[in-house]
Structure 1
């Protein structure tokens, strides 16, 4: 007998019935969310999948249901199992779903040293089940959702609890349970990045523009596109790609017709909204508020430039990286999970006045490193910095 087709729960009545069934289930909650990244402006969830043993799989339509307060009340104190939780937590919180305790199967696979950590790969490796991932980049704002997409979405959570149990056993065997606990907690408490002061500077290729007037045009075009994309909830790049905006900035057309005649100015809204783009160009051409070519911020220079700009920091970074690579290999944990690369760069660029394991520990703590990361790396970094400093002194003495 064929299994019944999956269906989307899109009414309050059916949603409340599902909440009762989930409440009667047992064990952890497996949860996932599908967005429409690359299609829509917003990062909202367009489908939320939930699985619990003795309850089953439920596929919810967030825009139709609204808030999920009732479900939150039922599952708030239960462990939630997610794969790459940091990608979904924001859109889950947007509808009122906020976990207190999580198990992140993707992060766990990283901590266990898995070479590949995609959900399909990890499930196949641990459970022997092959998952097709052909709909991962689909437009989940599509309505109605095709049956094949719903089946794919259901499978994303149906095996998550079994996977959690399998990975938890490996954590215990490898002695990494406490590491995982701290990492899961860090995902929940991580603050969202503050909005960039000048987000238009993210325009691809903008770093090559050196004229303040051209930058002003780039700014106005980016802001015009962003406002329109938000208004119609469409990904900005689908209206006019970055490459087209940059082509306008380089060409600096002097009239609406000149803009219209540009072959490099493409995109589905490049002509239908031509007036909008030309008005943006005019604002950039006429404004007296010209942006700075270079922005002084908190960003460190790329490490490849350190040897010239800060040779001592370059030596510290290289020495510490080598030491940390040894620790990562010993623990069988990826280097980027052993310690956030940005933390190491900042520490190497501006180390404590007195380099000791305690001062390095304090600096790492201030940057946001977890206790287990500090325990694993502070001594090694301190030794590496001291060694780098000694080599600098010896080199200086040799030259004199």
Structure 2
């Protein structure tokens, strides 16, 4: 069994970066976080593999400055699995690829039934990876040797997997599809912060009234501030269901709050003063939140379309099976060919006149990639036009 060592000294880090620079071919990169344990999404381990250099496991907190690694591999192709999950943590360390290959996304485009890392490695290489530590607390120090072995194997096979997937993409004529998708992932702007993030509190729908919602908001904010300061996942301090239960119980004093048995969590009693102050702040708030927030650019659910916009409903019902059929022909999930949201939006507000070119322009404005537009715009346009003709024929028959 290989004895893996975590690199946490700057001299060792620079030496490893130099070895990686002297390696050859693309670079496999992975990140381990402590999601569910820590507040932040920072990387607590960065794994890198390159042929001719080997596997290196880096400990980000003591290293701090990763510029030597960026300089060593920044211009090479990086191989990641589900890159959109790891890129934010890598960017926090100022590690940024100029080009990349996403093995998870490639497997989706190729129509693989299973796209988790272990499944893709098994399907391509016939190697079974143990996934026992995927949900572990990677902020633990020292990291157990079994965890390090798991982390190393996450990158050790990625280059071989990439080579097989590259050949499969070429065989299916999807090389450019994948290249466009990879570029889109790299260039995607981070989502702006939610305007009312506290509304994501699980179980909030049980709370009625603007004042109780103000209390829920205050409790959520107090928990968030404390979690951030302690770098602990908020739910480990007080679960969402406990906050909601406390609001529903409507305690009249701090002792009544303490007696709410559903108000659980390791900080529910040790920080009782904090939670009670949040209750008082919520009860004194003058900026009461609305019970329902305006929908913004959110479309109505499709089940409401027959009443709200019957023409759009007809367009969607005509185009959806067309897109599904194209996806089947291309042997990929429909959502990777064109997300349901994009199809709904262009069906709700189609261009005038409806042509393949105008539908393509609408899809492009909504963020669809060139290959997706090329594959779907004509079929969608034909379906939209057909839905209008069908409606006209039905109206004539009815008269």
Common fold, TM-score beyond 0.5?
A: yes
1:140 aligns to what? 138
Cα–Cα, structure 1 residues 393 and 246, in superposed 2: closer, same or farther, change >3 Å? farther
Query: In structure 2, how many angstroms separate the alpha carbons of the residues matched to 1:62 and 1:392?
Result: 61
**2:337 matched to which residue of 1?**
338
Contact preservation (8 Å) 2:207, 2:244: no
Equivalent residue number for residue 194 of structure 1: 192
Q: Tell me the distance in 1 between the aligned counterparts of 2:266 and 2:243.
A: 13
What stretches of structure 2 of length at least 5 have no aligned partner?
Answer: none
Q: Which residue of 2 aligns with 1:111?
A: 109
Q: Deviations over 1:238-284 (max 9, x none)?
A: 11111111112222222212211111111111111111111111111
| Equivalent residue in structure 2 for 1:23, among 14, 21, 26 | 21
Paired position in structure 2 for 1:204:
202
TM-score by length of structure 1 reads 0.97
Alignment-derived partner of residue 368 in structure 1: 367
Report the equivalent of 2:388.
Answer: 389
Matches within 5 A, 1:1-400: 3-296=1-294, 297-399=296-398
CA distance in 2 between counterparts of 1:357 and 1:4 reads 57
2: distance between equivalents of 1:162 and 1:302?
Answer: 43
Q: Show CA shifts across 1:58-83 (max 9, x none).
A: 00001110021111111111111111
Question: CA 1:216/1:54 → structure 2, altered by over 3 Å: closer, same or farther?
Answer: same
Q: Secondary structure at the match of 1:88?
A: helix
Task: Give 1:386 shift.
Answer: 1.7
Give the TM-score, by structure 2 length: 0.97
Q: Could you list the runs of 5+ residues in structure 1 that have no partner in the other structure? A: none
1:398 is displaced (CA, Å) by 4.8
Query: RMSD across aligned C-alpha pairs, in angstroms?
Result: 1.3
1:31-82 deviations in Å (ceiling 9; x for gaps): 0000011111100000000001110000000111002111111111111111
Distance 2:252 2:395 in 1: 58
1:137 shift after superposition: 0.6
* SS state at 2:276 partner: helix
3-state SS in 1 of match to 2:135: coil
What displacement does 1:4 show?
A: 4.0
Query: Residue 246 of structure 2 contacts residue 263 of structure 2 at CA under 8 Å; is this kept in 1?
Result: yes
Name the SS for the 1:291 alignment partner: coil
Q: Deviations over 1:105-135 (max 9, x none)?
A: 1100001000001111111111111110110
Deviation at 1:225, TM superposition (A): 0.8
Task: Describe the SS at the equivalent of 1:166.
Answer: helix
Pairwise CA distance, 1:342: 1.5
Aligned mates of 1:255, 1:315 — CA distance in 2? 56
Instruction: Give the superposition deviation at 1:310.
Output: 2.6
Identify which range, 339-348 or 61-70, moves more after superposition: 339-348
Per-residue deviation, 1:357: 1.1
- Give the SS at the match of 1:351: coil
Q: Tell me how far 1:304 sits from its aligned partner.
A: 2.7
